[in-house]
């Protein structure tokens, strides 16, 4: 709203004597008030309104400014500043006059600290979860692998060496033929060990560990469509080394790093083959 058609600056009014737009007289202003448009004067010199008016809520003027300024508060950050003084720049929630730039900087710093803490906590949680999963997986290989009757095998790692299998005595001392007689265990071992090209050692490597020549190994794999290379190998080992036990096979699998195959050996039932 404007009371003058000549003076577009609302802090001025038209002076009939000088024929100019002149500034409102600062002596008219007092703390908590601001000038009304054109100091309340019309272009004909008549008064349309009082020179000043009270500051609206959340605005202030200390009596040294032409117009009111917005009261600085922190309500957006969850701080209740209450009814702030209309004559000074304060945030009443702090109990003292506060420089807006200083409070703004403090708020920014607090928010930055909060964000940093949240990021650090998230990193710690991810790290803890990763470590927990790692320990559980490691324990699953190092711990006892047993069936419902307490039968089974356990794996151990000694002095940082490669994994070696130590079966319970009944299984470890059983003849290697035990593996061939348990069709379920044999089938699982075939699925694990016969495939090639997966970045892990297979039946071909196991045959080499058992001192079978490469020509025999190649021939065995050439006949894999009709018979499993692993089954052929185990049959050959029982003939070549009749004294071998399940424990000897587990030892070689441990040296190959095939702990998954050792876990399958743990499913053997010693009661079937012990006297």
pLDDT band at 196 (very low <50, low <70, confident <90, very high): confident
For residue range 217-253, list pLDDT tens digits in order. 999 999 999 999 999 999 999 999 999 999 889 989 9
Residues above pLDDT 90, as percent of the chain: 27
The pLDDT of residue 25: 85
Q: Is 123 within 8 Å of 243 (Cβ atoms)?
A: no
For residue range 65-96, list pLDDT tens digits in order. 555 454 444 434 344 444 445 565 544 444 44
Query: Collapsing DSSP states into helix, strand and coil, what is residue 138?
Result: helix
The pairing of strands 69-70 and 164-167 is unpaired
Check residue 24 and report its DSSP letter: P
Which residue from 199, 193, 194 is spatially nearest to 263, judged by alpha carbons?
Answer: 193
The pLDDT of residue 86: 59
- This prediction has a pTM of 0.41
Better-scored residue on pLDDT, 231 or 3: 231
The pLDDT of residue 69: 52
Better-scored residue on pLDDT, 105 or 125: 125
- Rounded Cα distance, 247 and 151, in Å: 15
Which residues share a beta bridge with 153?
Answer: 145, 167
Greatest extent of the chain over all pairs of C-alpha atoms, in Å? 131
């Amino acid at each position: 709203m404007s009371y003058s058609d000549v003076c577009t600056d609302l802090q001025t009014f038209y002076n009939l004597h000088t024929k100019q737009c002149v500034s409102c007289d600062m002596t008219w202003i007092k703390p908590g008030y601001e000038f009304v448009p054109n100091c309340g004067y019309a272009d004909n010199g008549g008064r349309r309104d009082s020179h000043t008016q009270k500051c609206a809520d959340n605005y202030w003027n200390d009596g040294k400014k032409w117009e009111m300024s917005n009261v600085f508060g922190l309500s957006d950050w969850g701080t209740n500043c209450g009814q702030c003084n209309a004559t000074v720049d304060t945030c009443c929630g702090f109990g003292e006059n506060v420089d807006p730039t200083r409070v703004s900087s403090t708020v920014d710093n607090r928010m930055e600290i909060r964000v940093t803490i949240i990021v650090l906590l998230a990193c710690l949680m991810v790290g803890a979860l990763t470590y927990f999963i790692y320990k559980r997986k490691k324990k699953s290989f190092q711990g006892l692998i047993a069936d419902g009757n307490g039968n089974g095998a356990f794996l151990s790692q000694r002095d940082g060496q490669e994994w070696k299998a130590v079966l319970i005595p009944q299984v470890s001392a059983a003849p290697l033929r035990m593996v061939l007689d348990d069709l379920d265990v044999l089938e699982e071992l075939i699925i694990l060990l016969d495939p090639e090209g997966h970045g892990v050692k297979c039946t071909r490597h196991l045959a080499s560990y058992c001192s079978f020549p490469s020509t025999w190994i190649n021939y065995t794999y050439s006949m894999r469509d009709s018979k499993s290379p692993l089954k052929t190998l185990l049959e050959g080992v029982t003939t070549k080394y009749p004294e071998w036990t399940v424990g000897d096979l587990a030892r070689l699998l441990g040296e190959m790093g095939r702990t998954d195959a050792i876990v399958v050996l743990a499913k053997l039932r010693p009661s079937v083959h012990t006297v």
